């Protein structure tokens, strides 16, 4: 077997569903997530009903303004909830939902629906999609941006995409020794599908954010118009994970050939038909991606929130034991027993929260929080936490009530249509 070949019997680790805080768990080798959604639909429902339709019932901090951004001309009202935008054309009852990557993460926090459920709900109101981004994050460096760049330069790629682009940024005093951005893309901004490979770790470090992973490469698949709609239709109607749908798309659109086989045969289309001629790293990436379900990122709460929880939920119980024991030494032993039991149960995620709180404490002097830091970091985080206080049981009830109300509305409309 050549060094670049991959035995077809080789197996890969598949990532499980990320229902626990991403920062609190050992990162899976790969994850896949929805990273942009833009769609429009027609509904006679009011603002609160439309937000309920997509699984959001908390509209505190909702911003409203007249008009819309230039790329969404024709909408006379814009509603902004965090980074989630909902636009309304009151003349024809058309709504537009626009969620960037950050907005998608916020949606996962405050909605009682996951994205697959959301897509199903939107399908029932005949939503039309103009953009859908799916991001695959790789934390084991199956390949990096330079590997893709080199393969394209060497003409190892077989694809119908005609264009490629390169985007590097850095500091003049460092030349290329210190980059602040490194991405490479296939396709043009006008393509119906567009694939961007970039160094996510580098991007976050340049924003001043801590990154605990040694390597982090993101492959971003951007689908537009009918490609976005076809992909969502496959998710809703076909069995399998979202990773399998991404595998099917990429496997049919892009192949990277080994340099060694290209030296023997110049017909790249013929070579691409045999998987043995594909590069090992591309095959490994696709096969690993194939197993991935949709990941949901949930950020960890600062340790100070645990203190607040203790004060509100546990303090009375501890006071009861103090009164019951009627002995300071016995009560101290009781507290020590609790602490020792907790220490035995502590895992890496708990240590991570301690370090996070220490980082927060650096911005606090004599009990006073830095105003600028509070505005940019703490206040937004607290607002998000307030929005996700609903229990899982309450979320299920809300989801059921929304669906019941929606289907009642559909049945009522069908009755009216039958009468007319």
Q: How many CB atoms lie within 10 A of CB 99?
A: 26
Specify the pLDDT at position 409: 65
Specify the pLDDT at position 17: 31
What is the rounded distance in angstroms from the CA atom of residue 313 to the CA atom of residue 382? 19
Longest Cα–Cα distance in the chain: 88
Residue 86: both structure tokens together? 């909902």
What is the rounded distance in angstroms from the CA atom of residue 284 to the CA atom of residue 10? 9
Specify the pLDDT at position 23: 38
Cα–Cα distance list, 306 to 33, 313, 314, 370, 376 (Å) = 29, 10, 11, 21, 22
Specify the pLDDT at position 368: 47
Cα–Cα distance list, 262 to 123, 269, 278, 284, 361 (Å) = 45, 11, 10, 20, 58
Do residues 224 and 188 make contact, with C-beta atoms less than 8 angstroms apart? no
Strands 128-138 and 94-99 come out as unpaired
Do residues 363 and 370 make contact, with C-beta atoms less than 8 angstroms apart? yes
For the chain (length 420 residues), average pLDDT per consecutive 10? 32 30 51 96 93 89 89 92 95 96 90 91 94 95 94 95 87 74 89 93 81 88 95 86 91 94 91 94 94 71 56 74 85 89 82 72 52 54 51 54 61 64
Q: How many CB atoms lie within 10 A of CB 340?
A: 10
Specify the pLDDT at position 213: 80
Q: Is the whole model's pTM more than 0.85, yes or no?
A: no
Alpha helices for 184-225 (secondary structure H): 200-206
* Cα of 43 vs its chain's centroid, Å: 27
Specify the pLDDT at position 107: 92
List CB contacts of 67: < 8 A, sequence separation 6 or more. 75, 76, 77, 78
């Amino acid at each position: 077997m050549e060094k670049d070949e991959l035995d077809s019997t080789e197996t890969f680790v598949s990532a499980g569903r990320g229902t626990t805080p991403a920062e609190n768990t050992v990162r899976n080798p790969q994850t896949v997530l929805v990273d942009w959604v833009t769609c429009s639909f027609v509904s006679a429902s009011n603002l609160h009903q439309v937000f309920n339709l997509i699984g959001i019932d908390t509209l505190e901090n909702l911003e409203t303004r007249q008009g819309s951004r230039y790329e969404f001309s024709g909408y006379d009202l814009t509603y902004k909830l965090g980074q989630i935008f909902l636009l309304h054309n009151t003349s024809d009852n058309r709504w537009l939902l626009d969620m960037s990557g950050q907005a998608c993460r916020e949606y996962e926090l405050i909605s009682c629906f996951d994205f697959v459920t959301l897509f199903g709900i939107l399908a029932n109101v005949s939503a039309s999609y103009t953009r859908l981004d799916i991001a695959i994050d790789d934390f084991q460096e199956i390949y990096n941006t330079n590997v893709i760049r080199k393969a394209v330069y060497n003409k190892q790629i077989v694809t119908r995409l005609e264009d490629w682009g390169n985007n590097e940024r850095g500091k003049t005093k460092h030349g290329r020794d210190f980059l602040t951005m490194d991405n490479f893309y296939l396709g043009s901004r006008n393509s119906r599908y567009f694939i961007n490979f970039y160094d996510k770790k580098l991007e976050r470090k340049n924003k001043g954010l801590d990154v605990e992973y040694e390597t982090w490469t993101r492959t971003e698949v951007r689908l537009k118009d009918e490609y976005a709609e076809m992909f969502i239709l496959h998710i809703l109607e076909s069995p399998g994970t979202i990773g399998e749908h991404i595998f099917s798309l990429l496997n049919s659109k892009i192949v990277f050939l080994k340099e060694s086989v290209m030296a023997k045969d110049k017909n790249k289309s013929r070579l691409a038909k045999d998987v043995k001629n594909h590069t090992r790293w591309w095959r490994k990436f696709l096969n690993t991606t194939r197993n991935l379900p949709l990941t949901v990122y949930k950020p960890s709460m600062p340790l100070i929130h645990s203190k607040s929880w203790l004060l509100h939920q546990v303090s009375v119980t501890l006071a009861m034991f103090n009164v019951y024991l009627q002995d300071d030494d016995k009560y101290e032993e009781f507290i020590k027993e609790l602490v020792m039991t907790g220490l035995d149960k502590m895992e890496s995620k708990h240590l991570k929260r301690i370090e996070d709180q220490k980082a927060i404490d650096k911005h606090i002097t004599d009990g006073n929080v830095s105003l600028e830091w509070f505005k940019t970091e703490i206040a937004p985080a607290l607002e998000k936490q307030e929005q996700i206080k609903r229990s899982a049981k309450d979320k299920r009830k809300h989801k059921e009530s929304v669906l019941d109300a929606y289907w009642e509305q559909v049945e009522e409309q069908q009755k009216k249509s039958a009468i007319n």
